[in-house]
Structure formats: C-alpha cells, structure tokens
C-alpha cells in the first residue's frame, strides 16, 4: 500500500481529487480517510509501540464503521501490479543481450568499415597484389657446351685456314703470328738443300728439293723464284726456273734442281718460292 504525507487543510470539507504519482491513478480523498501526520518527528521513535497500538485500534474502528455504514470505496492499485512479471527479467535480459550484440556488431562493423575505407579511401584506388615472381629458367647452354663450341670453332679455323685466308686475306697475318702456315696454292716445298760444286775452277751454288701436291685436285706448277739475301734481309740477286713437269696431282711429288755460278760473297740466305704477281710488277720476268 502506498501512502503520502499531505496537509489535511488542503483536502477541504468536501474532499479533493488526487492522483498517485506512481501509478497515475486518480480518486477523491477526504479528510476522514487521511492519517494525521506526526507532530514531532523526534517523538515518533520514542512512542513507536504506542503508535502501533493506536493504529491497530484505529484500523479496527475503521472496519466497524465500514460494516455499519456505506462508506465510499476507494480502489487503490495493487502494489504487485508495479512488480515486474517473472518473464520480465528474461525479456529485459534478452533486450539487454540484443542491445549489447547490436552495439558490438556496430563496433566491429565500424572497424571493418574503417579498414575498408583505408583501402578504398580514394576513388579509383587499386589494391596492390603481390606479383608472382617467375622462377628463372635454367639455360641449356652451360659451361661445358660453351667450351665445346669454342673448341670446335678453333679446330675449324685451323683445318680450313686456307679457305679462311681466301675469304679474308687479312687473316693470313694472324695465322703467321701464331705459327700456322697457310698454303693457298696447294703446293709445298720439302727437303730443300744447299750445296756447292766447283766447275771449271769456279764455285757453283746448288739448290735442290721436292714439291708436294697438297690440294684436292691437280694443280699447275708455276715458275720457281730463287733469291739471295744479305745479312739485313735485302735481296742481292734473284733468278727464275721453269720445271719440266707442269702439273702435280694430289700427293704427287716433283723434284727440282738449280745452280748459281759465282754466288755473291755478301749473300747469307737463299729464298725459294713460287713466282707471283708482285714479281711481275717489279719487272722480274
């Protein structure tokens, strides 16, 4: 039961409409229904037992009066109506749980949204993806292959050096520098010897040797040229000789012999070679 402390004078003689501030219920309150307020609060604690007795007697008197006379009935709302139902805590708890979940989802959603905004903050922004690095392809040409190719090239330059000099005449100096002879004619001098004879009391220089055919087909034998040189390499005297055999087949040999009467005393070396165009330009026929 809910009670309020008010002044009796405010009710008036005919009563006054009042409303409960808790349940918002309205009724007519009379001065007879009101309980007089304690005059002195300090005395209420001392006379608590007397007040309880007086209240009990007063309540009994009200009961007798109610049974004797038709007193107006005031419907006061039940206190239990303000109590929450047994299902209310569960509903409240469910509401609080749902609210907590919604708040948590909003926080997580805000975090995700801020994370996505960081990625796509600007229009047209692109997400960089790691590019798969292509594994380097293994080369099939290793060091052994390179060495083999180089060796084959050097061997070809040695075997076909004649053809190389015909194609590139400037390579003749390279072959001469490394000590390789280049024979473009396909004819080679072998077993060249020098000797001296005395004929009619005069000294005669004899030069003899062999010409070998090294070509793949029959070759014409040109004229031979002999030259005497001094100690500085200068040519002192030269002459030409024509062989009786004019054609030499592959692997065939041709002997030659020439003599020089009264050789120059300052001569130190004799060159034996084939006649060429430079000799023609120099007037040596």
Evaluate whether 246 touches 157 at the Cβ level (below 8 Å): no
DSSP 162-196: HHHHHH-GGGHHHHHHTT----SSSEEEEEEEEEE
Q: How many CB atoms lie within 10 A of CB 256?
A: 20
Q: Is the pLDDT of residue 12 over 80?
A: no
Q: How many CB atoms lie within 10 A of CB 68?
A: 8
Mean pLDDT estimate for the chain: 73
Task: Count, in order, helices (H) and strands (E) of the chain.
Answer: 7, 10
Q: What is the pLDDT of residue 40?
A: 42
The larger pLDDT score, comparing residue 55 to residue 235, is at 235
What are the structure tokens assigned to 110, written together? 């805000």
What burial letters (b/e) apply to 156-179, b meaning 16+ CB within 10 Å? eeeeebbebbeeeeeebeebeeee
Q: What is the pLDDT of residue 121?
A: 52
Residue 53 buriedness (CB in 10 A; 0-12 / 13-18 / 19+): exposed
Residues 130, 132, 134: CA angle, nearest 5 degrees: 150
What beta strand segments (E) does the chain contain?
Answer: 16-19, 26-29, 187-199, 202-213, 219-220, 224-229, 235-241, 247-248, 253-261, 269-274
Give the percent of the chain with pLDDT over 70: 58
Q: What is the pLDDT of residue 48?
A: 54
Evaluate whether 216 touches 227 at the Cβ level (below 8 Å): no
- pLDDT bucket at 138, cuts 50 / 70 / 90: low
pLDDT one-digit tens code per residue, 147-196: 999 999 888 888 888 888 888 888 888 888 888 888 788 899 999 999 98
Residue at token pair 């798969």: 132
Asked whether the whole model's pTM tops 0.85, one would answer: no
Look up residue 79 and give its DSSP letter: G
pLDDT one-digit tens code per residue, 90-121: 445 556 566 666 666 655 555 555 544 555 55
Task: Classify the phi-psi angles of 151: left when phi > 0, otherwise alpha if psi is within -120 to 50, otherwise beta.
Answer: alpha
pLDDT one-digit tens code per residue, 22-74: 787 887 777 776 655 444 444 444 455 555 556 556 656 655 555 444 444 44
The larger pLDDT score, comparing residue 30 to residue 208, is at 208
Cα distances (angstroms) measured from residue 100 to each of 59, 97, 107, 111:
51, 5, 11, 16
Alpha carbon distance 253, 257 (integer Å): 14
Q: What is the pLDDT of residue 69?
A: 47
The larger pLDDT score, comparing residue 122 to residue 258, is at 258
Alpha carbon distance 264, 274 (integer Å): 22
Q: What is the pLDDT of residue 180?
A: 84
* Mean local confidence (pLDDT), 193-218: 90
């Amino acid at each position: 039961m809910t009670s309020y402390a008010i002044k009796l004078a405010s009710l008036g003689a005919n009563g006054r409409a009042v409303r409960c501030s808790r349940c918002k219920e309205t009724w007519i309150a009379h001065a007879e229904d009101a309980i007089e307020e304690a005059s002195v609060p300090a005395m209420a604690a001392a006379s608590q037992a007397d007040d309880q007795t007086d209240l009990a007697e007063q309540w009994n008197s009200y009961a007798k009066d109610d049974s004797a006379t038709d007193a107006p009935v005031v419907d006061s709302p039940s206190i239990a109506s303000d109590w929450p139902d047994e299902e209310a805590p569960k509903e409240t708890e469910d509401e609080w749980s749902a609210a907590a979940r919604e708040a948590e989802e909003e926080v997580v959603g805000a975090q995700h949204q801020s994370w996505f905004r960081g990625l796509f903050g600007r229009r047209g922004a692109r997400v960089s993806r790691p590019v798969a690095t292509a594994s380097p392809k293994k080369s099939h040409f290793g060091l052994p292959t390179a060495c083999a190719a180089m060796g084959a090239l050097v061997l070809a330059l040695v075997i076909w050096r004649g053809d190389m000099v015909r194609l590139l005449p400037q390579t003749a100096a390279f072959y001469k520098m490394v000590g390789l002879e280049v024979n473009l004619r396909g004819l080679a001098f072998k077993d060249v010897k020098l000797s001296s004879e005395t004929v009619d009391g005069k000294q005669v220089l004899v030069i003899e040797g062999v010409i070998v055919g090294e070509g793949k087909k029959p070759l014409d034998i040109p004229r031979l040229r002999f030259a005497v040189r001094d100690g500085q390499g200068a040519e002192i005297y030269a002459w030409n000789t024509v062989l009786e055999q004019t054609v030499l087949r592959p692997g065939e040999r041709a002997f030659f012999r020439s003599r020089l009467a009264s050789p120059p005393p300052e001569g130190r070396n004799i060159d034996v070679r084939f006649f060429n165009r430079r000799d023609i330009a120099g007037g040596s026929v």
